Amino acid sequence: MDNKTIIYGIRAINEAIESNKSLNKLFIQKGLKGGEANQLINKVRKMGINLSFVPIEKLNKLTLKNHQGFVAQTSPVKFLSINDLSNLIENKQTDVNIVILDNVTDVRNFGAIVRTAECSGIDCIVIQNSGSAPVNGDTIKTSAGAVFNIPICKVAHLKDAIFLIKQHKIKIFGATEKAKQNIYKSSLNHSLAVVFGSEGKGLSNSTIKLCDELIKIPLIGKIDSLNVSVTVGAVLFEILRQKEYNS
């Protein structure tokens, strides 16, 4: 498991959670029962951590140690909490630009997005605990190491981050082909957050309802959609153009 740390055993994983260590995924032995086991399972479910019930053979491949039916992958990156995000916004002296990813699960797409966000001056990327691509070796490689240069905030629910950002009087844009507004006709030279959807489904309806304005990239070919990382690139560099070259 490149660029990931393996921890195992109920106590070690509990301690990792208590110390706010970010867990990419938790593997649990199928059929495992018991007081401590059930408590840990319930805890990670409430936190929205990705978990998978697997045969013991899978766990034995991950580690030869006494894992007690629990093996977790931790991230090489320290994620911001929602409180950290609030502090970041409050402490920024100039406009704040945030990217929010709604169920972007492909690791290479995620890495490309992180790289683009860092290159275009984005202040923070927000992802959800569950349903998001992990930060692993592929992410680090695809991002060209940008994951270490841009803050990434991980939250239990995207709506919590969106509500927080709105409380700071920052406008939420949603990038979707369902939008009527052309991105090149939108004003983007101010503090803002842009939400991008998953590769297959785009923005979820629940997320769309939370957006202040929907924007789209005009397409003139026969294909009616772009890869999400390409969409992110087009939007972020239009934001940069408006801020730096159209003021």
CATH number at residue 205: 3.40.1280.10
Least confident of 10-19, 35-44, 185-194: 10-19
- Summarised one tens digit per residue, pLDDT across range 42-88 is 988 888 888 899 999 999 998 888 899 999 988 778 899 999 999 99
- Kindly state whether residues 41 and 97 are assigned to the same domain: no
Average pLDDT rounded to a whole number, residues 137-141: 82
Closest by CA to 203, choosing from 232, 174, 231, is 174
**193/189 Cα distance (integer angstroms):** 12
* Residue that finishes a domain, picked among 58, 74, 90: 74
φ/ψ of 9, rounded to 5, equals 90, 145
CA angle centred on 202, ends 200 and 203, rounded to 5°: 145
* Residue that finishes a domain, picked among 23, 40, 74: 74
The pLDDT of residue 64: 86
Tokens of 47: 């936190």
- Summarised one tens digit per residue, pLDDT across range 146-161 is 998 999 999 999 999 9
Chain center to CA of 205: 18
Q: Give me the percent of the chain exceeding a pLDDT of 70.
A: 98
**51/24 Cα distance (integer angstroms):** 9
**200/182 Cα distance (integer angstroms):** 21
* Residue that finishes a domain, picked among 39, 74, 109: 74
Give the largest Cα separation in the chain, rounded. 63
- Answer yes or no: is pLDDT of 143 > 50: yes
Number of domains forming the structure of the chain:
2
The pTM score is 0.80
The pLDDT of residue 247: 56
- Answer yes or no: is pLDDT of 3 > 70: no
- Summarised one tens digit per residue, pLDDT across range 88-122 is 999 999 999 999 999 999 999 999 999 999 999 99
Confidence band of 1 (pLDDT split at 50, 70, 90): very low
The pLDDT of residue 4: 59
Tell me the pLDDT of the chain averaged across its residues.
90
- Kindly state whether residues 86 and 184 are assigned to the same domain: yes
- Kindly state whether residues 90 and 197 are assigned to the same domain: yes
- Kindly state whether residues 37 and 102 are assigned to the same domain: no
Here the CATH number for the domain that contains residue 37 is: 3.30.1330.30
- Kindly state whether residues 46 and 145 are assigned to the same domain: no
The pLDDT of residue 179: 92
- Kindly state whether residues 22 and 102 are assigned to the same domain: no
Enclosing H/E stretch for 111: helix 107-119
Scan for tokens 């803002």, then name that residue: 192
- Kindly state whether residues 70 and 118 are assigned to the same domain: no
- Kindly state whether residues 219 and 109 are assigned to the same domain: yes
- Kindly state whether residues 33 and 92 are assigned to the same domain: no
- Kindly state whether residues 120 and 230 are assigned to the same domain: yes
- Kindly state whether residues 53 and 127 are assigned to the same domain: no
- Kindly state whether residues 103 and 200 are assigned to the same domain: yes
Q: What domain range is 38 assigned to?
A: 5-74
